[in-house]
Structure 1
Amino acid sequence: MDALTKLNVLGLVLSAGLLAMACVKADRVRAWRARVNPSAEELPDAAFVVARVALVATAGVGVYLSVQAFGVSDDMSWDDSELTSAMQGATDALDGSSGYGDMYADDPDSDTGWIDEYATKIEDEVVEHGGGDAPQSGVDATPADYNTASEARYRVTASGAGTAYCLTVTRTRSKDGDYEPPGIAGGEGTLTIPSYDFAVTTRQGPC
């Protein structure tokens, strides 16, 4: 339970306490005051009416604010079902996609610079497929330490969700060939940009 949820629960408990105080009978209050301070003036019935109205109104405000805060708390955190649905959507969107490598790398097929950039792409896709009730942030795609230029794994988590996923990306040179920008020539002929296809799979659990 996060700090905001604990605060919301405390607000409901305090509101319940105020309602309980409003239900205490006037005779019991008078008897208690008489024991504590026998010389005190007796409270009129109107004072009890005003006190009850104030207590009930304050409790009502407390309940309203707590319920609203629960909604805010839900909007700020993911649950397992939201993350599961978002991961399915993100995997479908990323699988079969394409992209470009580093045209200035000596060996673009051995370049690993794309791995960290792809982590941001995964996070964006998961958020995009989270649905209307899911938060618009809080997703983290952490690359594994043993990734290679051709295959990378990411541990995907979301704030509030107890489930983690392992997303695997396989990068292969595009079957359609490298991209040739029109009208641009390199020093030794036509300039080409290495193109790659991405195959993406996801499974629940650690990588």
Structure 2
Amino acid sequence: HSKTPGHPENILTPGVEITTGPLGQGFANGVGMGMAQKHLEALFNREGFPVIDHFIYCICSDGDLMEGVSYESASLAGHLGLDNLIYLYDDNQVTIDGPTSLAFSEDVTKRFEAAGWEVSVVEDGNDLGAIEYAIAEAQRSTGKPKLIRIKTIIGFGMPKQGTNKAHSDAPGEDAVKETKRNLDWPENKQFFIPKEALANFRKAVKDGAARE
């Protein structure tokens, strides 16, 4: 049902501005967007007329932060003080091969703080109110890029949640039904979007169209 491939490409899918694929590449792309915005702010903004003042959001994973390109670009973002960047880190501590502890043990918070970032933590990735609050706080803060660590459970609701099996294995019909039961979704529907989620997406589309 999706209109995008697993790795969306800008030449194939309307609305996709940058092709990504290798882990960490999107992280660096976001930093580039932040630099471009600061350049445009310097060119066009005037006192009392901040015509360019938006934020750039990036969702990154454990795998992204294990790549060298993400830390190189994070270092540059901190050095330049790109406070228009808000990165949401999906911190589930699982990779396709197993737990991140197999190959990754550094303290991400300390590493980003050392690079000049402001770091906050949301302990429950299902607490939407806490995520909203963290984003609002990040928007108010100035002078540094922001990383919001959001503790999540990969494959939440699945029988194999919290493991790399939820990342890579086809769940199978029985596991799909069990997952739907755990999430209080109807088992007999092949494709289902909760009404609240659909309403929020439609509102976002409408609001975006009004701002165009």
TM-score range, shorter chain: under 0.3
Greater percentage in strand:
1
Structure-2-length-normalised TM-score: 0.22
Q: Which one has the largest radius of gyration? A: 1
Higher relative contact order (CA 8 A, sep 6+): 1
Structure-1-length-normalised TM-score: 0.23
